[in-house]
Amino acid sequence: MGAGCSRTVHAEPANVAPIVQAKSVPKGSDESTPWVPEKKVVEKEAPEESNVVVVVAPASRTQSRKAPEETTAYGGSTRKLTILHFNDVYNIEPQDREPKGGAARLCAKVKEFRANGSNPLVLFSGDAYNPSLMSTITLGKQMPPVLNEIGVNVSCVGNHDFDYGLENMMKLNSQCNFPWLMANVIERGQEFPYGGAGTTWLQDWNGIKVGIVGLVEEEWLETLGAVNVADMEYKDFIEVGRAAARELKAKGAEVLIALTHMREPNDRKLAAEVPEFHLVLGGHDHHYVSAFIEPHNNLMVKSGTDFRDMSLIEVEFPNGSTTDPKMSVERLVIDGSVPEDPAAKEIVNEYMKLMGEKMDEDIGESLEPLDGRFQTVRNRESNLGNFVADAWRKAAGADIAILNSGSLRSDMIHPAGVIKAKDFVSILPMVDTTEVLECTGAQVITALENGVSMWPKLEGRFPQVSGVKFSFDPSKPPGSRIVPGSVYIWEFESEPVPMELDHKYKVAVKEYLAQGRDGYDVFTQCKVLVDEEAGVVIPSTVKNHFIQLRVLNKWDGRKIYLRSLTNRWLKQTKSSKSLNNLAALDTGGADDSTTPTQRTQARTHGLAVPHPDGGHYCIAPRVEGRIVNVLEAV
């Protein structure tokens, strides 16, 4: 049990008002709901919803470092609140190494507290729907039944919950038996929270009135690749948190909790600057930390990641007190000694089974064979590498993307035609996260030098690239192989322009490379613009690209936001008929012998090309001279 502290709060009795979700789940989507088990593996009635709030002046307070008394009394002279907190969960199955974690074990631990009469308040700080290999197939559909079985009472929205788009997130949230909060991001021009989130929650729990506010940081909003950030209006988490906490206090809240999805420095800042909060329970970071934050001795906790950790927080009002709650925290490690809950394990097993069955699901189509052989991707430019790097770069909002070819794992040529889920998983089996770095042109060239330094060995460091083209001469010594003057920036639908050595570019790389792995130590010297927690997930960006093509194929004239080339295409079209004839927008002359499909293929780098027969959109990436070996070019 950790050290405790005591704090003073004023309780003002008030009637409990019901929580109201600000926005309903969208209806009539073009996209079908992601697959779910045919049998309903969890059937629970949603708990009664709780509430929202208003404003009052801050209370005076006394402080001490006295540890809480050990007691199990939940009434009479002593009132006690037990809170269980966790955050950032991705893989519902247990891991091979300790702590094994897994949803079924964490669920068993929560139910153990319920069985002993604690009646814990279970709080989750966001990030569930991605990233995981399973989510690339399910779009996160496995998580609502898991979180419902655990018995989460309140959650804060996390950045990765948006990874498959706003509509998908809202559908999944609607399947949860608890509210998702995000008080400081609203719909632009409106008064309600973005994405149908709630703002605050207020309920009497074990005789203690508890108020919760959901807060997020601005930094990760701009990194969201699957929603229109322009539709969001961010409000400072300090100002919103302070106002909401005072409103909750005016409604009679005795314990005030900020449930957040922010980096540790921002959680510390919130605790230090908003003394109204007794607890700041955070996500976004994946390490475990707990601390009483000066000058108010409020408690900040982050509870690890991936069902491997959970925090036990005890709040106690002794001897009939309505002020001066005492708090303590204990880390609970979910290792292999924790038994698996049978009901949760059934959910996990059902989704693991269905994941295997869904490997034959169609996800897209290619007009070209996709070359993923190691002898290609680790040796030269590959059309598969071009496609993955292009889709990834656009989602990351970067000028350049450099992908180490060891990320592409299928080692085969995928024939032209339908691409199945099993093909997708074989190509990108790892849930790789992205960092966006600020690199000078000279640093980019240093990185490319490393990428070709081991040629002709089939090393995983060989690059597949987007937004850049270059030539290299393997007859030169490593470190001097990039041909001077051969490096160009090559944006979509634009002519290549020479790279400037002193100019700063936004470069998307895997977290693995940002750490200097595979010889890319130059990246450790570059400024991080977007870190791995806020960055896009590579398999998700590719899956989202195929989803975007399906949307284009079904477009019926409604407003659609896509952060990719498709956004520009939609701006050029006024009807679904003109959208279906995008090939007519090509620049071919009367005597051009190429077909409209071929010209669209060249202009879009094969990211979205109308099928020559069906007219529906496919991918058709080509080898187009991004990486030139001068010895082979002769």
387-441 tens-digit pLDDT = 999 999 999 999 999 999 999 988 889 999 999 998 998 899 888 999 999 999 9
Domains and CATH numbers, the chain: 5-20+48-356 (3.60.21.10), 370-540+627-633 (3.90.780.10), 542-618 (no CATH)
pLDDT at 593: 67
Q: Which residue has the higher pLDDT, 46 or 344?
A: 344
Please give the sequence-ordered ranges of beta strands (E in DSSP) within 66-174, or none if there are none: 79-86, 121-124, 154-156
How long a stretch of residues is the chain? 634
Q: From the centroid of its chain, how far is CA 483? A: 39
Contact present, 298 and 279 (Cβ < 8 Å): yes
Provide mean pLDDT across the span 450-461: 93
pLDDT digit string, tens, across residues 34-90: 333 333 333 333 333 333 332 222 222 333 333 333 333 344 578 999 999 999 999
∠ CA 452-456-460, nearest 5°, is 60
How far out from the chain centre does Cα 26 lie?
21
> Are the CB atoms for 447 and 526 separated by under 8 Å?
no
pLDDT of res. 583? 36
pLDDT tens-digit readout, 264-308: 999 999 999 999 999 999 999 989 999 999 999 999 999 999 999
Residues 538 and 434 sit within 8 Å (Cβ to Cβ): yes
Over residues 214-234, mean pLDDT? 88
Q: Is 293 helix (H, G, I), strand (E, B) or coil?
A: strand
pTM (2 decimals)? Answer: 0.71
Evaluate whether 148 touches 167 at the Cβ level (below 8 Å). Answer: no
From the list 353, 418, 343, 420, the residue with the least C-alpha distance to 36 is: 353
Whole-number pLDDT of residue 555 = 66
- Amino acid identity, residue 221? L
Q: Is the pLDDT of residue 345 over 60?
A: yes
* pLDDT (tens digit per residue) in 161-193: 998 999 999 999 999 999 999 999 999 999 899
